[in-house]
Each structure stands twice: as structure tokens, then as C-alpha cells.
Amino acid sequence: MTRPLVIVGDSMLDVDIEGAATRLSPEAPVPVVDTERIWKRPGGAGLAAVLAARTGCEVVLVTAVGDDADGQALTDLLADAGVRLVALQLAGNTVCKTRIRVGGHSMLRLDHGDGSASGAPVPPAVAEVLEQAGAVCVADYGRGVTAHREIRELLTRVARRLPTVWDPHPRGSRPVPGCWLITPNSAEADGDSAESLREQWAARAVCVTLGPKGALVATENGNAHHPVPDSAARAGHGDTCGAGDRFAIAATMSLAEGKDVHEAVADAVDAASRFVAAGGAVGVSSAAPVGQGPSATTESTAITGDIADVRDRLRSRGGTLVATGGCFDLLHTGHVRLLRQARGLGDALVVLLNSDASVRALKGPRRPVVADQDRARVLAALACVDAVVIFDELSPEAALAQLRPDIWVKGGDYTEADLPEADVVRRHGGEVVLLPTVAGYSSSNLIAAARS
């Protein structure tokens, strides 16, 4: 997309507390969860915006944000993800949803916060970003943004000229007429067919999502079923939290590219299935070990060596395997931030490092300035890196075919079209994530400045 993707809807802060339960409390017959890690991420429309930003496109989020600690945490997470925020006023406190999870399964959810969008006039920036948008995705979570009179008027006008996808909510507002696609799940459809909902909502198309069974689509030309691709179905089932947001974002982006609704739904089924198989919303969370402080160990335990050995040793630990790659010739702040964010997407991070010969072929005869073994030692010393593997080819495709990571991470200065290895990752059930880069940092620029 050459123009911004605008997300409109209700946001919240989501927290996952992961731990182990090996005993019962002496006070009551309930399990005691020993906390191992806390994950935080934007929820609702905020999660949709983060998922969109990780495809590499420009994303603007129109949402109500509270002036409290949870609201500030939400704002910071969105900024870290590269999402531009256009804030509406929030009446009440930021909604925060906390899940207690053991072994990948939710045991309990605790909610606090009563915030909803106020009826105050919307800032002029809302109309401006919608005018500049390439497509719009509405993520309604029943907290008042889509009920705002001015927002509804703006969205009604937008739907006449731009791809507009509406992801509804049982407590939310009726979608505005003319939406290009509305995406309720089977529970939200409440027994109504996609065809009847399309008529009720005066939409161009309605798609009822069915989880592992795919999706049913109704258009003015009839109905169609889009099953989950075999490759995604074989990958197994992960956490479904956020799957609806991933579906709606993928459909919006496909419509913006000029695809018809059936092509867009097929793309969305594929994207949502892979998202769930790769771990769901946990894969887009910021994580930190509980109790980590100044006294925490910094000794490197990273694995180096043969890729098959690295893969088998890390897979034996379980969890989500993340990989990234590059030359890393003069490690800088941008590299470190990308590596830390990549590690936060899963349970182990492998860095695929271009060898000296590979760097010379890519960068020229005067590179690298640091030999591959030394670059590997520096990377392995970082607490966020679990393994480093050096490869000789120009592209990491062959290494990825052996490693088969759940998530492949690259910086946001790339697009998926720039990554020939993306097909290899997806062929083995993995997901490609593009993380925002830190402006102003470049190994090539640093080396040029030092030489001058």
C-alpha cells in the first residue's frame, strides 16, 4: 500500500501472565501459578494496528486513549510498533485484560477499567487521516468509538470510495452501510446467514469466519466457502486470541491491492490460520522475565555451530522459535532494538549471520570490517540471542529451509516483496514479521563516517 492503512476502533491493554502450576494452594483447592514471564501488548483495535504495522505498511490508529498508567503503557507499545496514534478522548479508565496462562492455556482472566469513548468532538486530524487513507479497517470492541456520531458520518463517506472492512462486536454498533466487507465470527452472526447479514447491514459482502473450518462469504453474486489451506491446517492450533484482527487486516490489505472479495477472504483465511499456528497474540507481545533486575546474570549461553544441531536443541525446549538474519557488521542501537523485539515474539531467537564471503558479495570488497567469527561472538553475548549460525549464501533461504522457524523477523525497511525467503518460511508453516527500524542508524553510514 502506498497510502496509509487507517484502523478505527476501541483499544485496550492486554497482559498475559505465563507460569507453571505444580501444586495446590493450602488455603483452597486452587492451583498456585509460579509466574515466569509477563507479556504486554495493545489489545482490540490496538492489536489490529500492530499486526498491520508488522507487514511493513504505514498505519494510523484512531482510538480513544486514557490518561492513566495503563493508557500510557498502551501508547508506548503502539509507538514502539511504529503505529501513528490519533487519539480521541476516553471517559473513564483504560480497559486492561489480564490472562493467567499455564502450559499455553488460559486458566483465568481478570478485567479492570471502565473506559469508553467520550462524546466530545473528534479532533480535525481524524478527518484528515481518513481523507489520506488507502483503506480503512474498523475494529469494533463495543467501547463507543464506532457509536460516535461524527465517526459514523466520516466512515459512511469513506465506505463509498475506499476499501472498508468492519470487524463487528456483539456489544458494538451496527456497521455503517456500504462496507466492502464485514467479518463477524459464527458467535457474532448469532445464527444468521452471511447472506441475510449482508442484506441487514447493506454491505457489499459479509464473511462469517468459522475458525479451523475457514470462512463463508456472501456477495450479491452468491455464496462461497473458503477452507483453511492444508499447510496451515497441518501446522496445528495455537492461541486464537487476535485471529479475528489478523483476518480483518489481511482482508483489508488485499482489497486495497485491488483483489476481489473472494481473493481477499482467501488471503485472510491463510493469514489468520498461520497467525494462530505461530502462537497467536503472544507472538506480538513484549515480554520480560519476572524479577529481572540489576543482579540478573548477563553470561552468554547462546548456541553456535551447525544449523541442524541448533534447531534440534532449541526445539527440544519447546515454545515458539524466532529467527532473524543479516550482516550485523558494526552492531548498533537499531540492531539491538530489533533483536530484543524479535526475542520478545517467542521463546528462542536464532540469528542467521552472513559469512565474510557472503557480505563481500553483497556489500563489496571492502566489507565486512569485522570478521564473521567476531561478529558471531558479539551477537552471542547479547542476552536476547539464543543461537547464532553463520551461512555462506547470499540469501538465507537454504538455512531457513533447515531451521523452519515459527517466525522470521526482518526490519521495516524491507517489504515482504523484497524477501525471497518469505515463501520458504510460509511453506513450513511460519510467519513473516516486519519490525520498525530506528531512524538514523546504519552500519554502512557508520563505517563510511569512520573511514572519512
Question: What average pLDDT does this structure show over 338-365?
Answer: 91
Residue 291 has pLDDT above 80, yes or no: no
Of the residues 288, 320, 355, which one is the last residue of a structural domain?
288
* Residues taking part in catalysis: 245
The whole-model pTM stands at 0.72
Quick: pLDDT tens for 5-37.
Answer: 999 999 999 999 988 999 999 999 899 999 888
Distance from C-alpha of 219 to C-alpha of 223, rounded to nearest angstrom = 6
Q: At what angle do helices 149-159 and 124-132 cross, to 10 degrees?
A: 10
Same domain, 199 and 307: no
Q: How far, in Å, CA of 301 to CA of 281, rounded?
A: 27
Q: Can you tell me the distance from the alpha carbon of 241 to that of 228, in angstroms, rounded to the nearest whole number?
A: 17
Residue 298 lies in a domain: no
Q: Are residues 258 and 404 in the same domain?
A: no
Tell me: pLDDT of 292 over 80: no
Beta bridge partners of 96: 13, 112
Last residue of a domain, one of 262, 288, 314: 288
Q: What is the CATH number of the domain that holds 413?
A: 3.40.50.620
3-state secondary structure 317-336: CCCCEEEEEECCCCCCHHHH
What distance lies between CA 48 and its chain's CA centroid? 8
* Cis geometry, peptide bond prior to residue 26 (ω within 30 degrees of 0): no
C-alpha cell at 446: 557508520
Give the domain extent around 349.
303-450
Write the CB contacts of 185 (distance below 8 Å, at least 6 apart in sequence).
208, 209, 210, 211, 244
pLDDT digits (tens, 9 = 90+) for 148-189: 999 999 999 999 999 999 999 999 999 999 999 999 999 889
In a domain, 297, yes or no: no
The reply to whether 330 and 220 lie within a common domain is: no
Q: Given pLDDT bands bounded at 50, 70 and 90, which one contains residue 299?
A: very low
In terms of Cβ atoms closer than 10 Å to its own Cβ (0-12, 13-18, 19+), residue 118 is: middle
Q: Residues 441, 331: one domain? A: yes
pLDDT at 268 over 80: yes
pLDDT for 94? 96
Q: Which residues pair with 164 in a beta bridge?
A: 136
Give residue-wise pLDDT tens across range 106-141: 899 999 999 999 999 999 999 999 999 999 999 999
Mean pLDDT, the chain, rounded, equals 87
In this structure, of 278-282, 299-303, 361-365, the range with the lowest mean pLDDT score is: 299-303
238-262 burial string, b = 16+ CB within 10 Å, else e? bbebbbbbbbbbbbbbbbbeebebe
User: Are 275 and 321 in the same domain?
Assistant: no
Same domain, 36 and 140: yes
Higher pLDDT, 273 or 181: 181
